[in-house]
Each structure stands twice: as C-alpha cells, then as structure tokens.
Amino acid sequence: MPLAMTIILITSGVTLTLAHASLCVRGMKLAAILQPLALTLVLAVLFLALQAFEYVNLPISINDGVLGSVFFMSTGFHGFHVLVGSIFLAVCLYRLYKGYMVSDNHVSFECAI
C-alpha cells in the first residue's frame, strides 16, 4: 500500500507540473491545461481514499505508544495538506474553466502549488 500511495503522489506531482507548464505557455489550448489538472485532483482523491482505507485496516492505533502517535500524526498532517491543496486546485480548475486565469495572470495557481 505505501508503494502505491507513493507512486500516486509522484504521478500527481508530474501532472501538476505539466498543468503549470502548459498554463505558462501563451496560446496553449485550454484542454491541455485542464486535463492534467483534473487528473491531479483525481489522483489526490485516490490517495486520500487509500489513506482512509489504510487507517481503518491498520493493526495499530494512535494509542499504541510512540510508533502509533508519530505515524498517525505525520500521515494525518500530510493527508490534511493533500486535502487543502486539492481544494485550492479545484478552485483553480474552476477558475481556469471559466476563463478567469490566463498565462499572464495566474498568481492564484502559483500560490496553490
């Protein structure tokens, strides 16, 4: 499970970078920006679902000493980071779709990544 989740995170980083690079190119078609960004969001949701599945099926709990505490706190903060970033990117996806962001003016996208 951790290997699959790592691959998902790395792939989402690649798709987000592709979306950003496409946005920076003047005259790039909108679909070339929206598709990798939408794929990034799908991968983020998949990661969060796998993390929730992992939490439910783990044989340890947060009350199992230092290991449980450190594991759940660190992965929990990371999951929260992915969740908040996904919300920001979903807003960016909507704004791109509506035409509120262009290659010359995409500061909010820069802040989200």
Q: What is the pLDDT of residue 112?
A: 76
| Residue 61, Ramachandran bin (φ over 0: left; ψ between -120 and 50: alpha; else beta) | beta
Q: Which domain holds residue 50?
A: 2-112
Q: What pTM was estimated for this model as a whole?
A: 0.87
Determine contact, residues 8/47, Cβ cutoff 8 Å: yes
Nearest to 43 by CA among 23, 14, 68, 71: 14
Q: Residues with Cβ < 8 Å from 98, sequence gap 6 or more?
A: none
Average pLDDT over residues 53-63: 89
Q: What is the pLDDT of residue 77?
A: 95
Residue 103, pLDDT > 80, answer no
Q: What is the pLDDT of residue 22?
A: 87
Q: What is the pLDDT of residue 52?
A: 93
pLDDT band at 105 (very low <50, low <70, confident <90, very high): confident
Nearest to 55 by CA among 6, 1, 3: 1
Domain count of the chain? 1
Q: What is the pLDDT of residue 94?
A: 93
CATH of the domain at 105: 1.20.120.80
